[in-house]
Amino acid sequence: MNEGDARAAAEAAARISYGRLLSHLVRTTRDIAAAEDALSDAFASALRIWPDQGVPRRPEAWLLTAARRAAGHVRRHQGVRDAAAPALEQVYDAMQSRTPSEFPDERLKLMFVCAHPAIDEAIRTPLMLQTILGLDAARIARAFLVEAPAMSQRLVRAKAKIRDTGIAFEVPEASALDDRLEDVLAAIYAAYTLGWDEVPGEEPAGEPLTGEAIFLSRLVVRLLPGAAEAKGLLALMLASAARAAARRDPDGAYVPLKDQDVRLWNGAFIAEAEACLRAAAMMGRPGRFQTEAAIQSLHNQSVMLGEVPAEALLTLYDVLVRQWPSIGAAVARAVAYGAHRGAEAGLARLGEIPAERITSYQPYWAARFHLLKSAGQLKEAAEACARATSLTRDPALAAFLSARLGKPG
């Protein structure tokens, strides 16, 4: 077997089983960092050994064996070292064949574990993104608008605190799931937005994060069918993901929403999103994700039908910013006001955002460029365009912004 085939097999195992293997290791080590290190060593061993010896029949069991050995949990088997692998394979088989618990996925189970109330609320979502979904600190930092070293330090401190304080890595009782749901949904959505913002051609190998997030969201809906916000999040992501194929033209150029070819949209996703949104609304428990999903639904309808329900859209944005404020929501609201109440109204809404929050936030500068240009303030618009272009990692989006600068209107 060549090195490429071995690497592909290891990547597949990581994509499919990383969360499950880590969950099993954490239960025994009680130490996230140690479990991650052990699993990392196991994958490194696989990349050294598999090209020569071939991919084992049960790659996940092999990795579990190697990780357990790296973590030092097979010392009691030193006299019967050769018996360790079969014994651990039996453990793995038991994991696979046991009667399923209420959790439909090991990664989802570990996410609820990481939402433990003793863990600092601000670090729960980043911890899930790194521990369960395997994202590095730099990518996580982008989602939280902080520098990568700062995020890395926060994660290291959080793992050390978990280890030192002995926080129990136990699956919460069913009655505690609702209390932890908000953090789990936030992590799933953060993963989705990171995947959505990836530059084409630069995505890591394996299942795109957007697909992983939608998969996990469907599992949460199945686990907690009475949770309106879980349905709202699924509706939000599906309504957005439905447009994925139309975001670029055949040459890879960026296509804004209003110019997209709706024939390229995923009709099944849109139908599922609308069904989820209706089901959530009938529960009578409004929330952030339901509100955002309703906004995306109206945006989709406006393109498909050519009619913009302006008042309903602005009302939803007002509710979102008032009850669940975020910089992203505030910028989107300003753009909507600019489109339906005039550029000056949009600029006024942008002016309400604290200056310290927008220094490196690319969507703010893109929105400011658009609104200033519409208002005829061309010098200021050019400055905002330059700032927006400098902050984007996507060459196609940078080219789109630069091209618009030279267009009238």
Sign of CA dihedral 37, 39, 43, 46: positive
Distance, in Å, from the CA atom of 46 to the CA atom of 11, rounded to the nearest integer, reads: 10
Q: Does residue 100 carry a pLDDT above 90?
A: no
Enter the tokens of residue 263.
Answer: 């024939």
At 321, list the tokens: 């910013």
State residue 80's pLDDT score.
33
- Average pLDDT, integer, range 345-369: 95
120/62 same-domain check:
no
Q: Which residue has the tokens 């200056």?
A: 355
Cα–Cα distance, 37 to 114 (Å, whole number): 18
Written as six digits, the tokens of 132 are 């369960």
My answer on whether 409 and 320 are in the same domain is yes
State the pLDDT confidence band at 53, using cuts at 50, 70 and 90: confident
- For helices 106-114 and 121-131, angle between their N-to-C axes, nearest 10 degrees: 160
Q: What share of the chain is helix, strand, coil (3-state, %, to 5)?
A: 75, 0, 25
**Greater confidence, 150 or 110?**
150
CA distances from 62 to 67, 85, 194, 289 (A): 9, 7, 31, 40
In degrees, to the nearest 5, what angle opens at C-alpha 47 toward C-alphas 41 and 48? Answer: 90
Per-residue pLDDT averaged across 20-45, rounded? 76
Residues 31 and 71 occupy one common structural domain: yes
Question: What are the tens digits of pLDDT across the range 133-145?
Answer: 778 888 899 888 8
User: Does 128 reside within a domain?
Assistant: yes
Gyration radius (Cα) of the chain, Å: 24
User: Using one digit for the tens of pLDDT, what is the confidence trace for 232-280?
Assistant: 999 999 999 999 999 999 999 999 999 999 999 999 999 999 999 999 9
Q: Would you say residue 172 lies in a domain?
A: no
pLDDT tens by residue, 159-211: 888 778 777 666 778 888 999 999 999 999 999 999 998 887 665 544 578 99
Q: How far is it, in rounded angstroms, from Cα 266 to Cα 63?
A: 38
State how far the Cα of 176 lies from the Cα of 38, in Å rounded to an integer: 30
Residues 91 and 123 in one domain: no
* pLDDT at residue 17 tops 60: yes
Residue 409 CA to residue 401 CA, distance in Å, equals: 14
69 shares a domain with 39 = yes
Same domain? For 336 and 302 the reply is no
In a domain, 55, yes or no: yes
302 and 314 within one domain = no
Q: Do 39 and 55 lie in a common domain?
A: yes
Other C-beta atoms closer than 10 Å to the C-beta of 130 total: 23
* Within a domain: 171: no
Q: Does residue 117 lie within any of the structural domains?
A: yes
Indicate the average pLDDT of the chain.
85
Q: With respect to residue 175, please indicate whether it lies within any of the assigned structural domains.
A: no
Domain count, the chain: 4
Higher pLDDT, 117 or 102: 117
Rounded Cα distance between 372 and 297, Å, is: 27
**Is 173 a domain residue?**
no
Task: Give the pLDDT band (50/70/90) at residue 40.
Answer: confident
Q: Decide which of 36, 66, 97 is a domain's last residue.
A: 97
Q: How far apart are CA 355 and CA 279, in angstroms?
A: 39
- According to the model, what pLDDT value does residue 95 have? 39
Tell whether 45 is covered by a domain: yes
Q: How far is CA 11 from CA 47, 51, 128, in A?
A: 10, 14, 20
106 and 92 co-located in one domain: no
Domain extent, residue 22, equals 3-97
Q: Can you tell me the distance from the alpha carbon of 66 to that of 83, in angstroms, rounded to the nearest whole number? A: 13
pTM: 0.78
**Last residue within a domain, chosen from 308, 341, 366:** 308
Of 97, 112, 139, the last residue of a domain is 97
Residue 15 has what pLDDT? 64
Quick check: 318 pLDDT over 90? yes
Where residue 41 falls among pLDDT bands split at 50, 70, 90?
Answer: confident
